[in-house]
Amino acid sequence: MITDKITLAHGAGGYETSKIIEELIAKVFRKKKVRDGIGLEELDDAATIPIDKDKSIAITVDSYTVKPLFFPGGNIGKLAATGTINDLAVIGAEPIAFMDSIIVEEGFPVDDLRKIIESYEKVLREYDIALIGGDFKVMPKNQVDGIVISSTGIGLLEGNPLLDSNAEPGNHIVVTGPVGDHGAAIIAAQLGINDIEVKSDCRPILPAIRTAKRVGGLRVAKDPTRGGLSMALNEIAAKSNVNIIVYEEKIPIREETRALAEMTGIDAYSLASEGQAIIIVDEEYSDELVRTLRANGFPEAEIIGRVAEKSREPRVFLKTVVGGTRLLEVPRGELVPRIC
């Protein structure tokens, strides 16, 4: 149920975000896709427009409002470029072009803007992505907090898209490395916690998805950003109508990230990652995928669980290190505001 007023929780990426998108936005629009492409009905990380029998244009858009603008491991420019690449990568597309929209507060330091734009460009240059246009506006002082970047990514997709609804019983669940580092870094920066050092994992996951394609058996790919591992797995479970089982002892997470989560009372599995992927593959490919990922830039990749039976009430179950089982639930509430 939607409240009478918008709250920060509606932008946190958890339960409230999904509800406002499903009940307020998606219900308003009658035409939700182009031909047989992917669109508003699927609510995946990107949409597609078919251009040929086995080819589509993939498109994604996201807005970035992170605070602070500069954080350990990156800044809003690097984050905007990275997050947009990742949203194209997880649907199976190869990014080719970007457009951006930048809104800056009056009085914003030009040197900071230059650093942000240079960070954005550096990520695009590394992956041979063109910036083909955009928009720039200035708001009066105190009418926007520093800078907001909206980034649109365009990619080419050959074959079928990787959708959250593709998971099947028996599939194995792989993560490419420690989860929650970005969320922990932003928490530390926002609260001024200096005695625990943690760095955002902000980086494109395109190499990991390319690796998974080469290995084979790829079913689903997802980047656990807002709402973290918990939200990502619950979205996959709900869209695929399956139960998911993950094992706490197998989930890579840094001690610093876990400590910050405990200090602030936030479930570590709800903290955002901006440089890790959840990859779901057929069981016979999972060991080879982990070995290949570890040898190609993702040394802490791990199999963390499996897709269980089909279910009319999909759930994500966490097998704890002490031998119990608990639900890994959809995050609710404010979590960490201005995280991306």
pLDDT digits (tens, 9 = 90+) for 117-144: 999 999 999 999 999 999 999 999 999 9
- Average pLDDT of the residues of the chain: 95
Q: Which CATH superfamily is domain 31-158 in?
A: PurM-like, N-terminal domain (3.30.1330.10)
pLDDT at 1: 57
Eight-state DSSP code of residue 160: S
Q: Residue range 227-235: average pLDDT?
A: 97
Instruction: Report the alpha-carbon distance of residue 263 to residue 8 in Å, rounded.
Output: 21
| Model pLDDT, residue 6 | 84
Averaged pLDDT, 202-221 = 98
Model confidence band, residue 165 (pLDDT cutoffs 50, 70, 90): very high
**Is the per-residue pLDDT at 11 higher than 80?**
no
pLDDT at 12: 74
Render pLDDT for 266-306 as a digit per residue (tens, 0 to 9). 999 999 999 999 999 999 999 999 999 999 999 999 999 99
- What are the sequence ranges of the domains in the chain? 31-158, 164-327
pLDDT of residue 25: 82
Instruction: Give the single-character DSSP code of 22.
Output: I
- For 89-113, write each residue's pLDDT tens digit: 999 999 999 999 999 999 999 999 9
Mean pLDDT, to the nearest integer, of 190-206?
A: 95
Rounded mean pLDDT of 227-248?
Answer: 97
User: What pLDDT is recorded for position 23?
Assistant: 83
Q: What is the mean pLDDT of residues 172-192?
A: 97
- Per-residue pLDDT of 25-83, as tens digits, reads 888 899 999 999 999 999 899 999 999 989 999 999 999 999 999 999 999 999 999 99
pLDDT at 162 over 90: yes
CATH number of 164-327: 3.90.650.10
Quick one: which of 229, 214, 187 has its CA closest to 67? 187
pLDDT of residue 335: 76
How long is the chain?
A: 340
